[in-house]
Structure formats: structure tokens, C-alpha cells
Amino acid sequence: MIEVENLHFIYPSNVEALKGISLNIRDGEFVAIMGQNGAGKTTLVKHFNGLLKPSRGFVKINSIETTKTSVAELAKNIGFVFQNPDHQLFSETVEEEIAFALKNFGFKEEVVKKRIDWAMNLLGLSQYRDTSPFLLSGGERKRVALASVLAWNPNTLILDEPTIGQDHRQKENLRQFIIQMQTQKKTIVMVTHDVEFVAECNPRVLLMRDGEIIADGKGTDILTNQELLTKSSIVLPQIAQIFQELSCFGLPQNIIDIYDAKNILIQILEKKK
């Protein structure tokens, strides 16, 4: 459980990035945090693993305040994948990068090898095992950073803009992995501008603006609300745009998922046979 109560955060430059945020994220939830640049999204999630400490208010992880424990201790249960992988990577090879946290957390050697192979296969990195992460493309480095966190199987996974630099196949792999994590009751918090990816995943959505949460609800409710999305500088998902245009023909307006859209259209076509 992540508990946030009246969270304020002021940077040394006197910029107030968070203004009284309160929310709870239950174990096993999948939450997408969205909003324009500077809304406070990354600042908020950096409080979840103790990288930032509240100026006022508190954040609790499993009933323990983040100010009363270390980042290293929080990292055992909360994996954080940064938006910029270069802020996270430092090892000479991809294999060493993925192995680092596993060894640091005391996993046995045979477990370390299995977890490395698993993470590499999952994210299509096996051919880069002995390659320096810094010789890879931006998207590939992003996958290495993700693999290095997934390898130790944290209970909570924080993903900051995970789809940047990823092609459609890798996005689908990520979506399938998120589904798998959900079946295992893992908590996933994703910061993203990728409205189409959020629409396909259909998680709980938090909209932020100017350091505040302006909406919190189901993806189908938030991502079909033009007024709310405009306030957060987010456009309607393409599927939502199509179904809202076709609502005059009796189609539902609250469709954001391409798979739901397909099923509805198939049903309509079958009725016309």
C-alpha cells in the first residue's frame, strides 16, 4: 500500500512542485499518472522510493514513512525505472548491469544467472549480453534499465515514460508483461504521455496539473472526458475519437481499448449478415 497525505514538495529553487497531494494506491493496482510537462508527475513518484523527501505531509510504504527508512531499504520492494536510462546505467556490459542489483541484494549465483537470462529473453536483449549498454540505441538502453529492475522481481514497479523509444512490438511486450505482473498482484505505477498505450492497458488514471491531482478514476472515464484531458494538455485516444464521432449512430462513447472496439464492430457486422 502506498499512502500519500497532504504531500507538498518545494525544490531548492523555491519552485513548489507538489501542492497537497493525497492518494492511496492499493497493493496490486495498476495506475497511470498523466499530465503535461512540469505537472509534478515524476516528482510525485520519486517520493515513493525515497529519492525525494516531503517538504510537508508524508508518504508511507506498507505503513512505514519514507523519511524513516533508507532508499536502499525501500528499493528491495520498489523498483524504479528512470525516464532517461543514462541516469541508471553504469556497468560495462548488459549482463553485469542486470546482475548488479541481484548480487547486491544477496541472491545466490544460480538464481542470479536464471534471473538474468529471464530478463534478457523477456526484453529481447540476449544478443547484447556482452555489449556495453552505452553502445546501444536509446530504446535498447531503456530496455536494459527495465531488465535490471525486473530481474529482482520487486513488489512495486515504477515506470517513468517506459514506452519512449520503443517500437510497437516492444510496447506490446511491455503490455503483456504488465498483465502478467497484475496476475501476480504486483503494484505498477506508470508515468507517461503515451495516451494510446494507456488506452490499451486501461488502468486507473491520475491526471495532474500544476502540482495537483485534478482527476482520479477509471481509464474509460478519464480518457473519454474531453474537458479534463484538455486541462492536462492530453488529446483523446484515437479509438475514443472514432467512437465519439460515431456515437450518433448508436455506438458507445466510452470506448478507449482497441480490443473492445474490435469486439463491438464484429458484433455489429455479424448482426447485419
pLDDT tens, N- to C-terminus, the chain (273 residues): 899 999 999 999 999 999 999 999 999 999 999 999 889 999 999 999 999 999 999 999 988 999 998 888 888 889 898 888 888 888 889 999 999 888 888 888 999 999 999 999 888 899 999 999 899 988 888 889 888 888 888 899 999 998 887 888 888 888 888 888 888 889 999 999 999 999 989 899 999 999 999 999 999 999 999 889 988 889 899 888 888 888 887 888 888 888 888 888 888 888 776
Say yes or no: 163 and 99 in one domain: no
Query: Domain boundary at 152, 181, 207, which?
Result: 152
Rounded to the nearest 10°, the torsion over CA 181, 64, 104, 185 is -10
Residue 131, in any domain of the structure? yes
The burial of 184, by beta-carbon neighbours within 10 Å (0-12 exposed, 13-18 middle, 19 or more buried), is given as exposed
pLDDT value, residue 183: 87
Say yes or no: 17 and 143 in one domain: no
Residue 213, in any domain of the structure? yes
Say yes or no: 146 and 159 in one domain: no
Beta strands in the chain (DSSP E): 2-10, 16-25, 30-34, 56-61, 64-65, 78-81, 156-160, 187-191, 204-209, 212-218
Say yes or no: 158 and 57 in one domain: yes
Residue 21, in any domain of the structure? yes
SS (H, E, C) 114-161: HHHHHHHHHCCCHHHCCCCHHHCCHHHHHHHHHHHHHCCCCCEEEEEC
pLDDT value, residue 167: 83
Residue 234, in any domain of the structure? no
* Host domain of residue 70: 1-77+154-219
Q: What is the number of structural domains in the chain?
A: 2
- The conformation of residue 237, written as its DSSP 8-state character, comes to P
Which residue, chain included where needed, has cell 463491438? 264
Beta-carbon-side half-sphere exposure of residue 214 (alpha carbons within 13 Å): 20
- For residues 249 and 243, give the distance between their C-alpha atoms in angstroms, rounded to a whole number: 10
pLDDT value, residue 44: 97
Say yes or no: 129 and 4 in one domain: no
Say yes or no: 11 and 122 in one domain: no
Across the beta sheet with 30-34, what order do the strands follow? Answer: 78-81, 156-160, 187-191, 30-34, 204-209, 212-218
The burial of 90, by beta-carbon neighbours within 10 Å (0-12 exposed, 13-18 middle, 19 or more buried), is given as exposed
Residue 262, in any domain of the structure? no
Say yes or no: 68 and 166 in one domain: yes
Provide the CATH number for the domain around residue 6: 3.40.50.300
- The conformation of residue 236, written as its DSSP 8-state character, comes to P
3-state secondary structure of 36: coil
Say yes or no: 62 and 168 in one domain: yes
Which residue, chain included where needed, has cell 525544490? 11
Query: Domain boundary at 136, 152, 168, which?
Result: 152
Query: Domain boundary at 110, 136, 152, which?
Result: 152
Say yes or no: 158 and 63 in one domain: yes
pLDDT value, residue 273: 66
pLDDT value, residue 116: 92
Say yes or no: 142 and 56 in one domain: no
Residue 72, in any domain of the structure? yes
| CA 45 distance to own-chain centroid | 10
Say yes or no: 33 and 47 in one domain: yes
pLDDT value, residue 245: 86
Residue 6, in any domain of the structure? yes
Residue 241, in any domain of the structure? no
Say yes or no: 185 and 126 in one domain: no
